[in-house]
Chain A
Amino acid sequence: MRPLTVGICGYGVYIPRLRIRAEEIARIWGGDGEKIKKGLLIEEKAVADFDEDTATIATEAARNALKMAGIEPAAVGAIYVGSESHPYAVKPTATIVAEAIEAAPVMTAADYEFACKAGTAAIQTCMGLVGSGMIEYGLAIGADTAQGAPGDALEYTAASGGAAYLIGKKGLIAEIEDTYSVTTDTPDFWRREGEPYPRHGGRFTGSPAYFKHVLSATLGLMKKIGAAPEDFDHAVFHQPNGKFPRNAAKNLGFTDRQLKEGILVDRIGNTYSGSSLLGLARVLDVAKPGERILVTAFGSGAGSDSFSIRVTEEIEKRRGRAPAVETYISDRRYIDYGTYVKLRRKIKVAE
């Protein structure tokens, strides 16, 4: 049993400023924008600009997390960046972040990939390293600039954004009470090496993948810590679209009120490794001391990490040091599909 002393010392987010509306994508591919919006419960998604990628999103989020925590970057002993869109196939994103926040060189770092739950895997790693005393602080980041193939259903949701969590023992704004994971080999969604766009199993991504793992991890955690849905003030589930997390919540016995603060997918899309972590950040932006938050991430392939988190008194002192989730969401500029394909390199130009 892990001692319950590890938690979050600070968190930071970054969401690119560009947005594309679902109906703009539907316009190009002959879809019914209104039906798609209703079906996926999504309005628009955040799009990385040409000069934004997982490394820049991770770095900005990490800088915000350090601002909130107010610690010396050299005290960070580990950085793990979870993403399915690392800028390099070989060469870590984490080293870029480490150098950019001046945590380098005496530290360890690596990149993670586990579809949409690589960021929570990074949190668990940092919990272990901090809890064991190997490091004082660890930085866990989930960030993505996810791409769907042009015309694929994923194109409506695959979005850009990320969040960073500084894990430590001192000065916690929230304690991580416990975590619980479920992992199986389930090919519901994948991208082969060298391929630009992922493939997915259509409806196979639903019950045998997302729901099976989210539900069993959440139930497993609640059983482990002896909690029930009504013991939590907020719940955040991975948000590949607006429907899945709501259905999972309903199935588990969570209410809309518990989900409300952490649902972002309708306004920014599915930020993959950033998804659950941005949802949690949105909750932490408004949560009161003493409130309890359930977070369950899901990564295709497949697995779920579930966390129980309790907010401390400290949080109110630290707010306002870095931009909140809503700051980024409200700062937006809409682009058309032509601009989108130009920026996201979906068209060839003479280079």
Chain B
Amino acid sequence: MTMGAPRFWRKTQSRYNLYGVKCKSCNATYFPPRKICPSCRRASKLEDVKLTPKGEVLTYTVIRSAPEGFERQTPYIMAIVKLDEGPMVTTQIVDCEPDEVEIGMAVEGVFRKIRESGKDGPIYYGFKFRPARADKDLAV
């Protein structure tokens, strides 16, 4: 797939920093952002919200037959992650072996290259998720 630069660029902050929207009428949070709250419709009061890149694996698979541009990454893990703040996102799980991933595993966001538009086109970046580090693992 060769997605043109504008289509990616207009969602940069959602891809880089998990910007979604929160409906002030019903308190629901959506990611990716929507223009209307499907529950409140005309009564929607949406405002941008930066979601915390932490959550857990709701389900996962290991892609062994990859689409164009992902051939060098096989086998790679794709998952649906349920963010702590509610919304679910489809994401690649990195820094994790196929036999290590499991449902319920705590994960955290990491900035990675998502794909390239051919060898001379734009490079697209964004969030992926990796196994969460415990706070105690941060120190020396």
For A73, the closest partner residue in chain B by CB is B17
Q: Which of the 9-residue segments A47-55, A188-196, A271-279 touches chain B?
A: A47-55
- DSSP class of A's interface residues: helix, strand, loop or mixed? loop
Task: Please report the C-alpha to C-alpha distance between residue A7 and residue B137 in the assembled complex, in whole angstroms.
Answer: 27
| Size bin of chain B's contact surface | 20 to 34
CB interface residues, B 53-74, toward A, < 8 Å: 68-69, 71-73
Given contacts A56-B125, A87-B123, 10 further A-B contacts (CB under 8 A): A52-B112, A52-B113, A59-B111, A100-B17, A285-B140, A320-B138, A323-B137, A331-B95, A345-B72, A351-B68
Contact between chains at B72 and A99 (CB < 8 Å): no
Q: Which residues of B sit under 8 angstroms from A182, Cβ to Cβ?
A: none
Chain A, 313-351, contact with B by CB distance < 8 Å: what is the 0/1 string? 000000111111111000101000000001101000111
Contacts A87-B123, A100-B17, A349-B72 given: A321-B113 contact, CB under 8 Å? no
The complex places the Cα of A321 from the Cα of B133 at a distance, in Å, of 12
Rounded to whole Å, the gap between the CB of B106 and the closest CB of chain A is 15
Residues from chain A with a CB closer than 8 A to the CB of B139 are 319-320, 324, 327
What CA separation (Å) do A324 and B71 show in the bound complex? 33
**Can you list 25 pairs linking A and B with CB atoms under 8 Å apart?**
A17-B95, A50-B113, A51-B73, A51-B92, A51-B112, A51-B128, A52-B113, A53-B113, A59-B111, A88-B123, A99-B16, A100-B16, A100-B17, A102-B13, A286-B140, A321-B138, A322-B138, A324-B140, A325-B140, A331-B95, A333-B97, A342-B72, A345-B72, A349-B71, A351-B68
Given known A100-B16, A345-B72, A351-B71, contact A324–B138 (CB-CB < 8 A): yes
Whether A96 sits at the interface, judged by CB under 8 Å, is yes
Judging by beta carbons under 8 Å apart, are A323 and B71 in contact?
A: no
- Assess whether A117 is interfacial by the CB under 8 Å rule: no
Q: In the complex, which residues of chain A have a beta carbon less than 8 angstroms from the beta carbon of B137?
A: 323, 327
B110 contact set on A, CB distance < 8 A = 60
Q: A residues within 8 A CB of B80?
A: none
B119 in contact (CB, < 8 A)? yes
B111 touches A50 (CB 8 A): no
State the Cβ distance, B112 to closest chain A Cβ, in Å. Answer: 4
B94 at the interface (CB under 8 A from A): yes
Kindly list chain B residues whose C-beta atoms are within 8 Å of the C-beta of A325. 140
Give residues of chain B (63-106) contacting chain A, Cβ–Cβ below 8 Å: 68-69, 71-73, 92, 94-95, 97
B133 and A323 within 8 A (CB): yes
Is the beta-carbon distance between A96 and B125 smaller than 8 angstroms? yes
Q: How many A-B residue pairs have CB under 8 A?
A: 76
Proximity bits, B105-122, A CB within 8 Å = 1, else 0: 000001111100001000
In the complex the two chains form, what is the Cα distance from A350 to B92 in whole Å?
23
Q: Does B12 contact A (CB under 8 A)?
A: yes
Shortest B110–chain A CB gap in Å is: 7
How long is the Cα–Cα vector from A342 to B68 in the complex, in angstroms?
A: 15
B16 CB to nearest A CB, Å: 5
Binding site for B on A (CB under 8 A): 17, 49-53, 55-56, 59-60, 63, 87-88, 96, 99-100, 102, 285-286, 319-327, 331, 333, 342-343, 345, 349-351
Bound form: Cα–Cα A59–B111 in Å: 7
Q: Whose C-beta in chain A lies nearest to the C-beta of B139?
A: A320
Indicate if the CB atoms of A50 and B72 lie closer than 8 Å. Answer: yes
> Given A99-B12, A320-B135, A351-B119, A50–B73 Cβ distance below 8 Å?
yes
Residue of B nearest to A350 (CB): B71
Contacts of A55 in B (CB 8 A): 113, 123, 125
Contact pick for A51, options B16, B17, B114, CB 8 Å:
B114
List the 6 shortest-distance A-B pairs measured between CB atoms, nearest first: A51-B113, A51-B112, A59-B111, A100-B16, A324-B140, A285-B140
B82 to chain A, nearest CB (A): 23
A51 to B71, CA, bound (A): 12
CB neighbours (8 Å) of B92 from chain A are 51
A350 to B68, CA, bound (A): 10
In the complex, what distance in Å separates the CA atom of A29 from the CA atom of B114?
Answer: 33
Name the A residues within 8 Å of B119 (CB-CB): 351
- Given the known inter-chain contacts A349-B72, A351-B119, please indicate yes or no for A326 contacting B111, CB distance below 8 A: no
Q: A52 — which chain B residues lie within 8 A by C-beta?
A: 112-113
Whether B95 and A327, one on each chain, are in contact in the complex, defined by CB atoms closer than 8 angstroms, is: no
Contacts of B95 in A (CB 8 A): 17, 49, 331
